[in-house]
Amino acid sequence: MYDNRTNYTLDQVPIIENVQNTKELLSLTNDKDDEKIFGFCYEIGLATRELIKDSKFASTMVALAKENPIPVVYLMDLEQDAPEYFRIINENLAEKNLSLEYIKENMTHRPILPNPEFPETAELEHYEPAIFIPNLKQVDTDKQVLLSPKVVTDGDKNPELEDYIVTWYYTEAGDLREILVSEETSLKTTNPLFIIDNAQRFEKNQIVLGGDSQVEPPRDNNITEDRSIIRFDSKELKIKTGYRYEPTAKS
């Protein structure tokens, strides 16, 4: 079924076993919409996990991410761009009575602390499921994929693991490993790092700015000077992702 890779190298990826309870980390928030979105990302991660054994899946996701102005693959686009993977993910989600269509429809967040002086801060935020690839510029698709369901560690229990994310990979023998990956590792490694994410859709005529670096959109001679400028950063993860909510109440 899968086009298996031959390179199982882990490039600059320290093996830090996850000693925290992943299911408990999912509910590490006082915001029910946050918890809902974390749960959706986790379930998509489970539904996608077997696919990271397929080297064609990795190269397809990387190629699609490079077509977008931010380093993401919008999973709803797979229905047209990679229908076989769309079908497999949906079939796996169906075992939990879920689908990508259902998740997209319900991947919303109601701000809990809107500013009354700015009515737009009270508007319901709409997201869609995506795969975020923070190290897109240097990925080597021949290497094995690291997949994160976007579960963040509890830094209160272990400050040394603040802002690490739960991540999966398969060994050459086919064994599943669960480790923790830091921001530093995510930006150094050449292993494709796929983070299941909730993203907003940006069009190709928009400039996307990151916290300490700029993500350049594809060059287009038709882009005019009134392009939108959009922040693309995260307070939840220091690695730049589409979601900007803290997983705990301490924020």
> What is the model's pLDDT at position 243?
38
CB 185 within 8 A of CB 12: yes
Q: Is residue 224 part of a domain?
A: no
Partners of 169 in the beta sheet?
177
Predicted pLDDT of residue 212: 33
Residue 177 lies in a domain: yes
Characterize the bridge pairing of strands 193-199 and 128-132.
antiparallel
User: Tell me, what's the pLDDT at 1?
Assistant: 56
pLDDT value, residue 29: 83
Residue pLDDT, tens place only, 7-64: 899 999 999 999 999 989 988 888 888 899 999 999 999 999 999 999 999 999 999 9
Domain presence at residue 242: no
Q: Is residue 159 in some structural domain?
A: yes
> Average pLDDT of each block of 10 consecutive residues along the chain (251 residues)?
75 94 87 91 97 95 94 96 98 98 92 71 85 95 95 91 94 94 94 94 53 39 33 38 39 31
User: In angstroms, rounded to a whole number, what is the distance separating the alpha carbons of residues 25 and 152?
Assistant: 7
Task: Please report whether residue 184 resides in a domain.
Answer: yes
Q: What is the pLDDT of residue 5?
A: 64
Looking at the domain assignment, is residue 70 inside a domain?
yes
- 103 part of a folded domain: yes
Domain that holds residue 161: 22-204
pLDDT, tens digit, 9 for 90 and up, residues 119-134: 766 778 889 999 999 9
In a domain, 10, yes or no: no
Cβ atoms of 180 and 153 within 8 Å: the answer is yes
Number of domains in the chain: 1
Q: pTM here? A: 0.81
C-alpha 244/C-alpha 234 separation (Å) is 5
The confidence score (pLDDT) of residue 221 equals: 39
